[in-house]
Structure 1
Amino acid sequence: MRLAVAQIVTGSGLEANLELIRDYATQARKAGAELVVFPEAAMRAFGNPLADIAEPLDGPWASAVRTIAADLDIVVVAGMFTPGDGGRVRNTLLVTGPGIDTSYDKIHLFDAFGFAESDSVDAGTSPVTFELNGTTIGLATCYDVRFPALFTANARAGAAINIVCASWGAGEGKAEQWDLLVRARAVDSTTFVVACGQGDPATLGLPSAGTAPTGIGHSAVVSPLGFPLVALGREPELAVVDIDPSVIPEIRGKLPVLANARSF
């Protein structure tokens, strides 16, 4: 499977962010990718109002992403915001492309490091997987990467790949934690992990959004044994990589952590 990781830096403008998606998806398709992964908050960057732009999955922004995916004959995964309960939004991953249309709402909310995502975001409740050309793929968003059970649940549901879309917050040791967590989740679940984060806005000379988690880059694709196949820096970039999900049964035969796991 050839897939692409689109490490972009989004802003407040929905149309401008759609153009970024169209541009990077076009580049990915020209490179032969059948799947392109965009980060969390691809619809609008954190640090901007979200409730006023949240829309249903059949709204105009999501419909425009569907059109891009259909026109290019590619599957697109992109972070957006949908209406939640109590005036909050849901932090949603839209997955759309030929024969595929599904979504995942972020389960684990970032109430950590002095930030309370639950004040403005309504949590999802269920893991989600989808199938692309016979390969099952699981979904996760940002803070979810700190919770191994989601990744192993996706693996038990048949996932050979776990996608993590993020807008990772900056701070001391945060880049090192991101690298550690992404690689650990691959080994925990014996899946390929495709981790796509927002690039660092500072690399484009953009001002700080205060404490908002606007991205640090360092997107990666990691093998089921924890080896980095792709490791990006802080700048916006498109990376294309070939992975072979057919190796998963052999790896799980050698490292049967899913089969050996016990509940306590």
Structure 2
Amino acid sequence: MKLALAQVLSTSDPQRNLAIVRDHAKQAKQAGASLVVFPEAMQIAFGHDLAQAAQPLDGPWAALIRQQAHDIGITIVAGMFTPGEDGRVRNTLLIAGPEADAHYDKIHLYDAFGYAESDSVTPGDAPVQFSHEGQILGVATCYDLRFPQLFIRHANSGATVNIVCASWGAGEGKVEQWTTLAKARALDSTTFVAAVGQADPQSVGQKATGTVPLGVGHSLVVDPLGRVIAQAGAEPELLVVDLDLAVVEKARQQLPVLANSVDL
């Protein structure tokens, strides 16, 4: 499976962000990828009015993503915001492509490091997988990366690849945590972990302010034995990676953590 991680910077303008998705999806297709993954908050960057920007899954923003996926002939995974409860939104991943039309609402909300996502976001309550090229892929959003049970649940449901879309908050040690957690989740689940985040705004001369999670870059792909097989830097980049899915079965024979797991 050849997939692409589009480490980009979303903006305050959902229409401009659609153009960013379109351009990078075309580049990914030209590079031979059948799946392109964009970060969390791709519809509109954090730090803006999420409730005003939120649209239902049958609204125009999602419809245009589906149209792009159809026209380009590629599966797109991208973060958006849909209406939630009590004036809040849901932090949603949209999955659109020839084989899939699905969505995932972020379960674990980022109430950490001085930021309270739950003030503006309604949590999801169900893991989601989708099929692509005969494989099952699990999805997760940002703070979900700190919770191994979600990744193990995906693996036990047949996933060979776990996708993570993030707008990872900056701070001391946060890049190291991002990389370490991606490796750990790959080892926990013996799956490939393809984790894409927003680029670091400072890498293009933008200043980050307050505790709003914007991005640190360093998107990466980790194999089922925890080895990093590709990683971006801090700046915007399209990372295209070939996955040898036979590695998953080999890893599970060598390291049968799923089979050996016991409920305590």
**TM-score interval (norm. to shorter):** over 0.9
Q: Which amino acid aligns with 1:97?
A: G
Aligned to 1:109: 109
In the alignment, is the contact (CA less than 8 A) between 2:104 and 2:139 conserved in 1? yes
User: Quick check: 1:26 aligned with 2:15?
Assistant: no
Partner residue in 1 for 2:85: 85
- Deviation of 1:100 after TM superposition, in Å, equals 1.0
CA distance, structure 2, for counterparts of residue 215 and residue 169 of structure 1 = 6
- Give the 3-state SS of the residue equivalent to 1:52 in structure 2: helix
CA displacement, residues 207-253 of structure 1 (integer Å, 9 cap, x when unaligned): 32422100000100000001111111100000111002233122101
Contact 2:199 2:217 in 1 (8 A): yes
Identify which range, 215-224 or 247-256, moves more after superposition. 247-256
Partner of 1:159: 159
Q: Which amino acid aligns with 2:150?
A: L
Q: How many residues align?
A: 264
CA distance in 1, matches of 2:207, 2:152: 38
Aligned mates of 1:30, 1:113 — CA distance in 2: 39
Q: How far is 1:99 from its partner?
A: 2.5
Alignment partner, residue 61 of structure 2: 61
> Is the 2:114–2:211 Cα contact (8 Å) retained in structure 1?
no
Per the alignment, residue 76 of structure 1 pairs with: 76
Q: Answer yes or no: is the 8 Å Cα contact 2:44–2:80 preserved in 1.
A: yes
**What amino acid sits opposite 2:86 in the alignment?**
G
TM score, norm. by length of structure 1: 0.99
Shift of 1:13: 0.4
User: What is the RMSD computed on CA atoms of the aligned residues?
Assistant: 0.7
The equivalent residue for 1:195 is 195
State the TM-score, normalizing by the size of structure 2. 0.99
Task: Check whether the contact 2:224–2:247 (CA below 8 A) recurs between aligned residues.
Answer: no
Report the CA distance between 1:184 and its aligned residue: 0.3
Q: Distance in 2 between matches of 1:209 and 1:138?
A: 32
Equivalent residue, structure 1, for 2:135: 135
Range with bigger deviation, 238-247 or 151-160: 238-247
Q: Runs of 5+ in structure 1 lacking a partner?
A: none
- Residue ranges of structure 2 left out of the alignment (5+ in a row): none
SS of the aligned residue for 2:155 comes to: helix
Query: 2: CA distance between counterparts of 1:209 and 1:112?
Result: 16
Residue type of the alignment partner of 2:91: N
Instruction: List 4+ stretches of structure 1 deviating above 3 A.
Output: none
Report deviation, 1:103. 0.5
Distance 1:255 1:65 in 2: 39
The 3-state SS of whatever aligns with 1:86 is coil
Counterpart contact for 1:47–1:209, Cα < 8 Å: no
Q: How many Å separate the matches in 2 of 1:179 and 1:250?
A: 23
Among all aligned residue pairs of Structure 1 and Structure 2, give the percentage whose two residues are the same amino acid: 59
